[in-house]
Structure 1
Amino acid sequence: MVDLLQLNSSDHQFISTSPTPCWIPLHAPITRKHQLLYSFSNESQEKRISSFKNPLNEPIILGWPSTLRACPELEELVSVGRSLSLSCFSELELKKHSLWLKRVSTLSKQVQELSDIHPQSCAGVDGPACAVIIVDPESNTALAESTTPTITSDISWLDHAALLAVSAVAKLKQNTGNQYSDSYLCTGFDAYFSLEPCLMCGMALLHNRIRRVFCCQKLAGDGAFSNASRLHVQEQLNHRFRVFSPP
C-alpha cells in the first residue's frame, strides 16, 4: 500500500497497513462536551481506551475532527442539567417566570370553575381548561391572555387557547402600527401555558416564531414538546426554540 501511494521513506511512519478503530460521528457536535468525545484529545484518550471497545474487542483510540458551532444558551442548559442547586436563570428572571406561571395557572383554574366540559382543551374533550399568556420579555408585559372557551353556540373546535392568544397578538400588531411589523407575530416573545400545548398549538407557536415556552404541567402522550414529536427541536423545521416544563 505504501508503494502504491508513492510516499517517501520519511513518510512511512505516518502510514499503517492495519486499520485503527476510531469514532465516526453521525452528527456534528452541539456542545463542547460532545465535541471532546469526538476529538483526538489526549485528556480523554485514556478514558476512551478503558471504556469503549469495538466488536473485535480492540480499544477505540482515535477520535474524529469536527467543527463546533456553539450555542451559549444551550451550553448553559447542558451545564445545569437536572441539578436542583443550579439554574440557568438569574434570581430576577426566576421571579418573573414564577409570577407569570402563577398567573396562567390561576386563569386556568378560574375557567375550570365555570364549566367541567372544555371541548377545546389540548388534552381533548374530557381534558382540563387551558390558559396561555404571551409576554414580551423586554418589557415584562403581557401581550395576550387566552383561555379555553366555555360552551357557547358560536365557538369553534379550533378555538384552543394558544390559537386565540396568537390571534390576539395579531390584532395588537394591527392596532400598534409598525411596532412589530419587521418580524413574525411572536418573534422574541415568551409563552406561558397552564398545560403543555397539543401538536396543533405547538405548530402555531413555531410558525409565529415564539422564543421560549414555559409549561406548568406536561401533557402526557399528546404534548407537542415532551413526547416523541419534540416539535421544538426538529431539524427539518425552520425554527427551533426552548421549552421549560416540570421533569
Structure 2
Amino acid sequence: MTDVPRPVRVVLADDQPLVRSGLRVLMADHPDLLVVGEAATGTEAVRLVAENGPDVVVMDIRMPGMDGIEATRRITAGPATTRVLILTTFDEDDHVYGALRAGASGFAVKDMALEDILAAVRVVAAGDALIAPGVTRRLIADFAARPQAAPVGVPRPVEGITEREREVLVLVGRGRSNTEIAGDLFITVATAKSHVSRLLTKLGARDRVQLVITAYEAGLVTPSHG
C-alpha cells in the first residue's frame, strides 16, 4: 500500500473574513493542503500556532492589535518550525522589508492568481523561500531608503565565502532562481543549488529570503542593480 503524504497544515491569518473564506474553500479542493485554523488578528495567529503547530501561516500584514509583522516575529522566534508566507496587497507593501526581517519565508500579493498563491504555500512549506515577482526591487529600494542602511561605498563585508559563492549570493540577491543562476554562470542547476546550500550554512541563513537581505545589507546588491 502506498503511503499518502501528510497534507500541509495551514493557518489563515487575515482580518477580512472574505479573504479567509476564499482561501479555505480553495484549499478544500486540494487534498495536499489542510486549513487547521483561522485568525483575524496577529494575537490569534500566534495562539493558533502554539496550539496547532501548522506548517505554514498565510499572514496578512495589517490586522487590528498585533499586526502581521510582530506576529511573524513571535512565531519564528518560538520553538515551532512553522513558516510564514506574507500575503498582502501591492499598495501596502511598504512593510515588505520589515516582514522578511521578522522571519517570513515568503511574500505574495493578493492579486496573484489563486493557484499561484497555493503554489507559494507549497514552496514555503517545502523549506524554500519565495518573493512574488516585482517585489525584490521594491524590497531593495525600501532597504536603501532606510537610515540604518550602510552608506554607499561602505558595505558590510561577508566573511568566509568563496569568490564563486559571492557571485551566487549577488544573483540570489537580484532574485534569480537556481536555473537562472546556472545560466548566468555557465554551471549546472545542481551546482547552483549546491552553492546556495553552502551559502545558507556558512551565513547561518534560514532560507533564500535571508540571503537576499544579506546581499544588499552587504552592499553586494543596490537599487540600481537589483
Larger relative contact order (CA 8 Å, sep ≥ 6): 2
TM-score normalised over the length of structure 2: 0.29
Larger-Rg structure: 1
Hey, which of these two has a bigger chunk of helix by percent? 2
